[in-house]
Structure 1
Amino acid sequence: MEDTVEKNVEGVAEKIIAEDEQRRAQELDVFNIAPKRPNWDLKRETDKKLAKLERKTQEAIHTLIRRRLAAEKGGGQEDIVGAMRAQEKVQQADDLSDEEEEEK
């Protein structure tokens, strides 16, 4: 008797087909098909809005820190007024950029 390749791999094809059918039966489980997070689209939309708010929050924090440092230096009213004017300019620029983003 000769050992041939055909004899060695005789049952391999059937074995692979049977394993594939078992995997397909497992993959058709309803829980595997359903999305894990049904609110992913809501999160995507809110992330855009939260990014704007985060930027504005950080700018407001920086402005408050600048004002506090200016007041601690004892520079007087001129520094505080200058900081307030700078903040107003930044806020106006932000409002314009937000309006442009909303138009898109």
Structure 2
Amino acid sequence: MPAHNEHIVTVGETGQFFPRKGKRSPVYLISRVHIDGGIMKASLQGGYSARDIPGGSVSTTLIVGEPFHAPYTGTFTLLDVSPAQSLEGHGSATFRFEPDPDFEVSDTI
């Protein structure tokens, strides 16, 4: 069971994740859900607009088990992936989201 400030989230490939309560920003996009050489990976892009918060956007590849801190938001740790089973399908990524102490998390996650 996750700690009180941790959230286990599954997002469909090309799906958006809106972690902040009552806000549309930051928003993160999950893509390229795959297994490479036996290692589960997924791309994470997004965050805040440079106009709103300079340095608040990210573009990275999450690797299973390795935490990644998104500035002004929190830490994402990839836990599992389910790659698409066909060209028309979409996979999904499951990750642990640990918000920064001053980040107000949405009630919907």
**TM-score interval (norm. to shorter):** under 0.3
- Normalising by structure 2, we get a TM-score of 0.17
Quick check: which has more Rg, 1 or 2?
1
Q: Which has the higher contact order (CA 8 A, sep 6+)?
A: 2
Structure (1/2) with the larger helix percentage: 1
